[in-house]
A and B are shown apart, each in its own frame.
Chain A
Amino acid sequence: MAAPIIRIDNIVKRYGPLTVLDGLSMEVLPGEKLALIGPSGSGKTTILRILMTLETISDGHIEVDGDQLYHMPKNGGLVPADDRHLHRMREKIGMVFQHFNLFPHKCVLDNVTLAPMLTKGVAKAAAEKRAMELLDMVGLADKARNMPAQLSGGQKQRVAIARALALSPKIMLFDEVTSALDPELVEEVLNVMRKLASETDMTMLLVTHEMGFAHDFADRILFFDRGKIVEEGKPDEIFRNPRQERTQTFLRKIIAAGHRV
């Protein structure tokens, strides 16, 4: 078995007096598709944000692709990572946000080419060629010159996926990427993600309330509650035969709310 690409070791995340993650540990294998589910406030989004270095951690260690994420080796020990180290680590990780976070002042194509040109020094022509391939992959090649304000939510999110992919990260984080969409636009985004999952060997972590999609998409499901992993397993095990009472309660509520499993 390959070594884990992500190794989270006993991390603690506190916001003031509130402890969001309390000694959490988990591992992710290269190429694995992982779905994080659970009630709001259970810490699943915080995990993604921590992996993207959008947060700091109060305690613990995270290893990504063989290197410490928030620490770097110095004089035989570990010290907090500096900016250079963080920039090097961020090259391995991409993220897609719930609210897309496109740059509203740049056209679709420029949204996708900006980061490769700035962070990797890719020439404009090469960056645009690659961007067009990615936009084609998400079905938006004809919108390359449009401004984000002219797109629907589903289209914006597909652009955001293309934008994250343009940096060729090894790990992609999807944070409730369909939660802000009108119901009829959800499927077009999920289709892109299905395609991505089947065509690439990228490691993907997904926080979602779309249980049906999580079931089909993920190799493994983690159920979070109150900052801990309560239960984990293959999709069928979790959705058909949850062992923990809290998982059962959560899934019952979700089903009652009309989400299909």
Chain B
Amino acid sequence: MTDWSGYIGLILQGALVTLQLTVMGSALALVMAFVAGLGRVSRFMTVRALATTYIEFFRGTSIFVQLFWVYFVLPFAGVTLSPLQAGVLALGLNVGAYGAEVVRGAVKAIGREQREACIALNLTRGQAMRHVILPQALPLMLPTFCNNAIELLKGTAVVSLISLTDMTFQAQVVRAQTGNTLIPFAVILVLYFLMALAISTTMRWLERRVTRGLDGVRT
């Protein structure tokens, strides 16, 4: 009879790593999404080109390869990162590229009429973006951001490739040591599900908050 408590503890340690990666990766992804998404709608061509390059590169190449580059190739350029830093960076940049298109789409979805009202009220472009466009665009972004965050959570499993002991990696260790497949994988299945549930619940709560008063009506 195997004593499971130690093994479960191992998996929970891994869950903590997964959680860290998810939270920090999402934070970076959110920042990148806004920087690149707003960059895409900038009136300066250079800014637009930079944003587009970033988005196309990170959407167009695999997260595996990106992770390898960040962890194994960047040191040749003099930048050495810890496995956690590398994982957060790769995940954040990768998911941020998807998020950027969400930001751009939502900003574009706020119609001409709102922009014209801003011009007629003599707001600067920055003021219009901050006080009128973004507050209305945000509720449109949240459902897709929720998807992105859950994708990021599930993507964290790739970090075992750079020696980070995340939840999936630990489950495989447990499986190798105990010869039992069902229990470790059932445990991480439940844990992944609970984390995803936490993300979607938070997002739904946020969505309700930011749409308060709009009554689903847009004029």
Contact = CB atoms under 8 A, between A and B. Distances in A.
B119 A163 contact: no
Given A147-B215, A156-B219, A54 B121 contact: no
Nearest to B120: A95
Nearest to B119: A54
A163 B213 contact: no
Interface string A121-163: 0000000000000000000000000011110000010000001
Contacts, number: 76
Interface string A190-201: 000000000000
Most chain A CB neighbours (cut-off 10 Å) among B120, B123, B219: B120
B214 A147 contact: yes
A220 to B, nearest CB: 24
Contact of B213 (A87, A147, A167): A147
A97 B122 contact: no
Interface in A155-176: 156, 163-164, 167
A114 interface: yes
A115 B123 contact: yes
A69 interface: no
A115 B122 contact: yes
A97 B214 CA distance: 21
A150 B215 contact: yes
A149 B215 CA distance: 7
A52 B119 contact: yes
B136 A115 contact: no
B114 A97 contact: no
Contacts of B208: none
Nearest to A146: B213
A50 B164 CA distance: 60
A102 interface: yes
Contact of A101 (B114, B124, B135, B213): B114
Interface in B199-219: 213-215, 217-219
Contact of B219 (A94, A100, A118): A100
A103 interface: yes
Nearest to B117: A101
B108 interface: no
Contact of B214 (A99, A105, A118): A105
A209 B3 CA distance: 85
A251 to B, nearest CB: 31
Given A99-B219, A104-B214, 12 more contacts: A53-B119, A54-B120, A83-B124, A97-B117, A101-B113, A101-B114, A101-B120, A101-B219, A114-B121, A115-B123, A149-B213, A167-B122
Interface of B: 113-114, 116-117, 119-124, 127, 131-132, 135-136, 213-215, 217-219
A-B residue pairs, 5 tightest by C-beta = A101-B117, A115-B121, A149-B217, A95-B120, A90-B122
11 contacts: A90-B120, A90-B122, A94-B120, A99-B113, A100-B219, A103-B114, A104-B214, A114-B121, A115-B122, A149-B213, A164-B121
